[in-house]
Amino acid sequence: MKFASPQSTLCRRLLTFAAPALIAAATCAAEPVLTIDADKPTHDVSPKFFGLMTEEINHSYDGGIYAELIQNRIFKDDPKAPAHWSVVQRAQSNASIALDESQQINSALTVCLKLDAQGGGGIANDGYWGIPVKPQTTYRASFFAKTDSTSAGALTVSIESNDGATVFAKAQVPKLTHEWQRYNVTLTTRGDAKPSTNNRFVISTTDTGTFWFNLVSLFPPTFNNRPNGNRIDLMQLLGEMQPNFLRLPGGNYVEGDHIDTHFKWKETLGDLAQRPGHPGCWHYRSSDGMGLLEFLEWCEDLKMEPVLAVYAGYSLRGEHVNPGPDLKPYIDEALDEIEYVTGDIRTKWGAQRAKDGHPNPFKLTYVEIGNEDGFDKSGSYEGRYVQFYDAIKAKYPKLQLISTVGGRDSLGKRFTVKQRTPDVLDEHYYRKAVEMEEDAAHYDNYDRNGPKIFVGEWATREGSPTTNLNAALGDAAWLTGMERNSDLVVLQCYAPLFVNVNRGGMQWSGDLIGYDALNSYGSPSYYTQKMFNQYLGDKVVPVKGDNIPTQTWQPPAPKDKPAPPAKELPSLFYVATRDSKTGNLYLKVVNIASTEQALHIEVKGAHVAPQGTAVVLTSARPEDTNSINEPTKIVPVTSKADGLGNSFTRTFAPYSINVLQLQTK
């Protein structure tokens, strides 16, 4: 703990800033002071304030949280070739593989993989950038197969190194038949297997004959041992954030590129053998293994409530469905979906959910009508929203309906639905750190008489694949503003949540959590989220800042235009909440400057104990970051804080995000 004299030294310091546009010295006068009125809360913190946003982007599900290890398991990724599959030759064998559409199993499993084995041979899958091997681990493999061989038709199923030299685990299927059958085996690695990813999954034979395969699947242990479940490490990282809700299933992913490729939830239910998958909008096909029930069970596992985005008749490439009779099937699709989530088992879709394995309904408060419909240039959203709104409110009057346009978002859209007042507006912000910092007070003067706000996607996009410390500083400044206004901003979630860091895994840079097949890590932005949510009271208390130092920011000049005037921005951001049960007061302070800054803190209306807790996230340089090779370079450090009280001065490290937990009575 460091003390500064009441007469601040700040005015003698030259503050320099890492971002090129931040050019000038801090301007300061007298000592910076924060005055906190601990007994005069301005409002309650929204109980659902912190949540998660998810969609199939950056291999978030396939190759991400959905634990399936086989890529292209139903052979539809590429109609011309068996992508991610290769032929395996054994000694003396002469085998070949090809796609085969003549051996359909059902309307979902229409393409299979044919293996012509001469003297043996096999098929191998390279997984999502490798098959992860861990010691003493049991994997569950399953597949459909048949053969024309009149001899044994026995198969060996194995996980082995890419060169075939090391077999980590294997199991036998003694005999195939001439009819399609599903086979299940378990594979357990030895205790001395070193963790690795340069491995493949192989099904091979020593026979001669033709073999056909479909829906080839391999699962490692999953979170809560759910069949068709999620990756344990990623669920743990999310669980540590203690999120309240999951916005699903997008994002652009709910819309699809075209009307016909939107997220059709009915095709994502039940047995995997009934799921055809569909083309995703982020340049790869989705297996739909992460189906509607899997989303809901993900929510259940982490005690989150779904925020359900329903397809609203607009798709990314600009196609839309006109309001009126043409839209009716999509309204019905949404009503059925809500019934699947919330209906009891006497309803048609509640019964289907029970049949799928989950008799209990899920709690649902918010339904979002579409995604980013401000991009719909036809102007059809007004009519589409009204039709959805009326139909949903008629059947579910208590549901809160979210409009995807309105407010003042970073896309510059100001169009608002006029004929119905949305309960909530979804606003999205993707920006640079300095833009977040400049606009941190965005919600301070927002209209309190209109709809509530859902900041359904936001991020400071600096750093790749995951964000760096400078981004986390921008995030933290922005979060202080949202937290202070959490009477209005009832929900907020960062996006995108995930990125598979392998080459080709990413479509959108600046993500929260990175991983490969074996390991995962949180970015500095992840730890910022975690800190802000872990140390959050239930009441916002006012904090008055005096003499807060500023820095000069020169906004970039538009093309062929003179530079706009420079702006003065604060270099410290802050917010406080109090827990009415424990009395804990949480003061968050963000110092974006390159030098330490001292703040005098006065707490009124409560007695503050001399000891508390300090949590600090910082690093030497704003471009510092975590990565798959340095996963914990920047993590919050928790320590005891002394010298606290109703009046004290504390120094905050350069480039730091801080929580001070004060015990108050």
Instruction: Note the residues at the interface with ligand AHR (CB under 6 A).
Output: 55, 57, 250-252, 371-372, 457, 495-496, 508
Placement of tokens 């401000």 in the chain: 374
* Nearest approach, Cβ of residue 215 and ligand AHR (Å): 28
* Nearest approach, Cβ of residue 263 and ligand AHR (Å): 12
In 3D space, the residue among 225, 220, 223 whose CA is nearest the CA of residue 233 turns out to be: 223
In 3D space, the residue among 460, 662, 659, 642 whose CA is nearest the CA of residue 575 turns out to be: 659
388/423 Cα distance (integer angstroms): 13
For 478, the token pair is 């922005």
Of 411 and 635, the one with the shorter C-beta distance to ligand AHR is 411
Placement of tokens 């189906």 in the chain: 291
662/261 Cα distance (integer angstroms): 52
* Nearest approach, Cβ of residue 61 and ligand AHR (Å): 13
Relative orientation angle of helices 328-342 and 381-395, to the nearest 10 degrees:
40
Of 126 and 457, the one with the shorter C-beta distance to ligand AHR is 457
476/486 Cα distance (integer angstroms): 15
What are the phi and psi torsion angles at 306 (to 5°)? -70, 140
What are the phi and psi torsion angles at 176 (to 5°)? -95, 165
Alpha carbon 481 to its chain's center: 22
* Nearest approach, Cβ of residue 309 and ligand AHR (Å): 9
* Nearest approach, Cβ of residue 649 and ligand AHR (Å): 41
Contact 523, 512 (CB under 8 A): yes
For 387, the token pair is 């039709």
510/499 Cα distance (integer angstroms): 9
Of 456 and 654, the one with the shorter C-beta distance to ligand AHR is 456
For 18, the token pair is 């890492």
Contact 519, 233 (CB under 8 A): yes
3-state secondary structure 326-366: HHHHHHHHHHHHHHHHHCCCCCHHHHHHHHCCCCCCCCCCE
112/91 Cα distance (integer angstroms): 26
* Nearest approach, Cβ of residue 85 and ligand AHR (Å): 30
Of 120 and 370, the one with the shorter C-beta distance to ligand AHR is 370
* Nearest approach, Cβ of residue 404 and ligand AHR (Å): 9
In 3D space, the residue among 516, 552, 434 whose CA is nearest the CA of residue 69 turns out to be: 516
Of 496 and 524, the one with the shorter C-beta distance to ligand AHR is 496
Sequential DSSP letters for 203-250: EEESS-EEEEEEEEEEE---GGG-TT-B-HHHHHHHHHT--SEEEES-
* Nearest approach, Cβ of residue 407 and ligand AHR (Å): 15
Distances (CA, A) of 520 to 155, 515, 516, 630: 34, 4, 7, 10
351/57 Cα distance (integer angstroms): 31
* Nearest approach, Cβ of residue 58 and ligand AHR (Å): 9
Of 372 and 438, the one with the shorter C-beta distance to ligand AHR is 372
Of 82 and 496, the one with the shorter C-beta distance to ligand AHR is 496
Placement of tokens 């009307």 in the chain: 259
* Nearest approach, Cβ of residue 461 and ligand AHR (Å): 10
Relative orientation angle of helices 524-534 and 469-484, to the nearest 10 degrees:
30
* Nearest approach, Cβ of residue 250 and ligand AHR (Å): 6
Of 31 and 55, the one with the shorter C-beta distance to ligand AHR is 55
299/351 Cα distance (integer angstroms): 20
* Nearest approach, Cβ of residue 457 and ligand AHR (Å): 5
In this structure, the strands spanning 33-37 and 597-604 are parallel
Of 229 and 251, the one with the shorter C-beta distance to ligand AHR is 251
Of 522 and 549, the one with the shorter C-beta distance to ligand AHR is 522
Q: Is 564 exposed, middle or buried (0-12, 13-18, 19+ CB in 10 A)?
A: exposed
Of 31 and 372, the one with the shorter C-beta distance to ligand AHR is 372
Of 371 and 597, the one with the shorter C-beta distance to ligand AHR is 371
Placement of tokens 């459909």 in the chain: 144
* Nearest approach, Cβ of residue 425 and ligand AHR (Å): 14
Of 141 and 497, the one with the shorter C-beta distance to ligand AHR is 497
Of 371 and 571, the one with the shorter C-beta distance to ligand AHR is 371
Residue type at position 290: M
Contact 225, 232 (CB under 8 A): no
* Nearest approach, Cβ of residue 371 and ligand AHR (Å): 5
Contact 273, 207 (CB under 8 A): no
